[in-house]
């Protein structure tokens, strides 16, 4: 299996080179040359596998044997040893048609741990095997940063710098990132929003001399390894459901920001998981809802919501979807992305919108609706949702219930991470110990302006 770019100007590369490249060197996103197919029989033969064993099978379809089986197995085992649930990602049944896949039992209590614990270990492995310098640079709306830092702090041969929007992440997210005292970690708190942080990161990665001089590596969902790791739990959730219930296919509802998680679902579907509808849940930053429902992809005013990890306008993985939507035609992708850059928006024809809606449906959740969903699920099921997971549930309630077949709604964070919203409802929760202990630790971070030059200077003195 080789990997290419959505813009068509990266020569086919192998798995580890793809992992190290992150963003395509032509500015596009990396995708597999062909998506491997898993037929129904093979899929069924995986029904009893643990999440870890399933991940080994799925990754083996992509790694070209570049990582010996025993090493890949050990990397996977190590990555999930710190998850507190024996099932790693437990599937909880709320009623006949609704199941919640809990993705938040990792070290930083958000779904990002599923991919990033593995990527941290893989970077350490590659650093050793290939004697590569690994300088990780990423932007975060809160959870990616915490998770990536946790996955590599203190590891030899790796440095990590994370940009987060100053004051626009939850208290726990900020503490998870900034209380890590290891010298291989630098937190930059940027006076701007997440899109500003992501924009600067993209520019730095697109500056090829800078990227290669400082050996920049990506952990954001521009990295295809992250997408692939996340696709595994769509297989897992499907196979965890009893065969008679999943027989006609399964729907998923996905709290969405950067389009990474839902794109992983799209990939799983293309690989052969019988997924019926992928319901994209957004908050009030609903560019993707407008794209799917109206065929207009256009950033609008940024809003702060109860679900800050979804406060995103320009979604990185949109381009990957566009690539498949346009029939894997990289010239057409390049033309549309250039048009987007020039005009600040893309418009799709009614025929195109109809085709988009065969892949995806969408629902934007208001702040009030997010809170009322948390309230009603606490009352009805005694189940406390975090505000991101609540958006997924609200989308299921509104857009999803007319679909046939069972629904799996992805729970992307632990409620303790977003106590600000939970407290507005007068609900008191007990924090897990790993969160409670953060409040007493000293913080380390550097506040910087939303300016590429200033940030590049910080990097130049931190990365060696
Ligand atoms: C990152 C994140 C999301 C959004 O996921 P994307 O892959 O960016 O679409 C949703 N919920 C939580 C809790 C997150 O951390």
pLDDT digits 0-9 by tens, 95-109: 989 999 999 999 999
Low-confidence ranges of the chain (pLDDT < 50): none
The answer to whether residue 254 is domain-embedded is yes
The answer to whether residue 291 is domain-embedded is yes
Q: How far is the CA of 261 from the centre of ligand 1 (A)?
A: 7
The answer to whether residue 264 is domain-embedded is yes
Whether the Cβ atoms of residue 441 and residue 195 lie closer than 8 Å to each other: no
Per-residue confidence (pLDDT) for residue 14, from 0 to 100? 98
Closest ligand 1 atom to Cα of 112: 15
The answer to whether residue 308 is domain-embedded is yes
The answer to whether residue 441 is domain-embedded is no
pTM: 0.95
Per-residue confidence (pLDDT) for residue 156, from 0 to 100? 87
Write the CATH number for 398.
3.40.50.1100
Q: How far is the CA of 379 from the centre of ligand 1 (A)?
A: 25
The answer to whether residue 167 is domain-embedded is no
Per-residue confidence (pLDDT) for residue 51, from 0 to 100? 98
Closest ligand 1 atom to Cα of 412: 13
Per-residue confidence (pLDDT) for residue 180, from 0 to 100? 96
Per-residue confidence (pLDDT) for residue 204, from 0 to 100? 93
Closest ligand 1 atom to Cα of 221: 7
The answer to whether residue 140 is domain-embedded is no
Domain count of the fold of the chain: 1
| Residues annotated as part of the active site | 112
Q: Which structural domain range is residue 269 located in? A: 91-108+225-424
Q: Pick from 257, 263, 278, 385 the residue to mutate for probing ligand 1's pocket: most ligand atoms within 8 Å of its CB.
A: 257
The answer to whether residue 2 is domain-embedded is no
Lining ligand 1 with CB less than 6 A are: 110, 112, 143, 221, 255-261, 309-310, 388, 412-413
Per-residue confidence (pLDDT) for residue 104, from 0 to 100? 98
């Amino acid at each position: 299996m080789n990997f290419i770019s959505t813009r068509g100007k990266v020569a086919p590369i192998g798995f580890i080179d793809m992992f190290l490249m992150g963003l395509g060197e032509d500015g596009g996103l990396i995708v597999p040359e062909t998506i491997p197919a898993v037929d129904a029989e093979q899929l069924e033969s995986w029904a009893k596998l643990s999440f870890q064993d399933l991940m080994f099978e799925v990754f083996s379809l992509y790694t070209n044997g570049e990582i010996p089986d025993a090493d890949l197995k050990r990397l996977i085992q190590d990555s999930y040893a710190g998850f507190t649930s024996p099932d790693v990602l437990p599937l909880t049944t709320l009623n006949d048609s609704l199941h919640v896949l809990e993705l938040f039992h990792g070290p930083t209590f958000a779904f990002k741990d599923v991919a990033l614990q593995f990527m941290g270990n893989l970077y350490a492995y590659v650093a050793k095997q290939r004697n590569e310098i690994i300088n990780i640079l990423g932007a975060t709306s809160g959870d990616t940063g915490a998770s990536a830092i946790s996955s590599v702090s203190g590891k030899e041969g790796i440095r990590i710098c994370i940009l987060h929007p100053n004051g626009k992440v939850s208290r726990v997210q900020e503490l998870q990132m900034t209380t890590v005292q290891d010298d291989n970690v630098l937190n930059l708190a940027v006076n701007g929003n997440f899109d500003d942080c992501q924009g600067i990161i993209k520019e730095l990665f697109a500056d090829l001399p800078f990227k290669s001089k400082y050996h920049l590596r990506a952990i954001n969902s521009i990295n295809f390894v992250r997408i692939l790791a996340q696709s595994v739990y769509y297989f897992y959730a499907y196979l965890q459901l009893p065969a008679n219930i999943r027989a006609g296919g399964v729907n998923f509802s996905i709290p969405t920001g950067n389009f990474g998680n839902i794109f992983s679902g799209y990939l799983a579907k293309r690989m052969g998981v019988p997924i019926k509808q992928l319901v994209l849940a957004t908050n009030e930053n609903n560019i993707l809802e407008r794209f799917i429902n109206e065929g207009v992809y256009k950033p609008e005013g940024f809003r702060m919501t109860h679900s800050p990890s979804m406060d995103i306008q320009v979604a990185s993985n949109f381009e990957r979807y566009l690539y498949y939507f346009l029939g894997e035609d990289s010239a057409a992708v390049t033309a549309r992305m250039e048009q987007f850059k020039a005009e600040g928006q893309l418009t799709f024809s009614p025929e195109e919108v109809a085709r988009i809606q065969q892949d995806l449906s969408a629902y934007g959740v208001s702040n009030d609706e997010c809170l009322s969903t948390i309230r009603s699920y606490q009352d009805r099921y005694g189940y406390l949702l975090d505000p991101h997971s609540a958006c997924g549930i609200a989308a299921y309630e509104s857009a999803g219930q007319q679909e046939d077949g069972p629904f799996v709604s992805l729970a992307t964070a632990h409620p303790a991470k977003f106590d600000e919203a939970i407290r507005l409802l007068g609900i008191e929760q007990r924090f897990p110990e790993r969160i409670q202990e953060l409040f007493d630790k000293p913080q380390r971070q550097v506040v910087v302006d939303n300016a590429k030059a200033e940030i590049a200077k910080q990097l130049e003195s931190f990365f060696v």
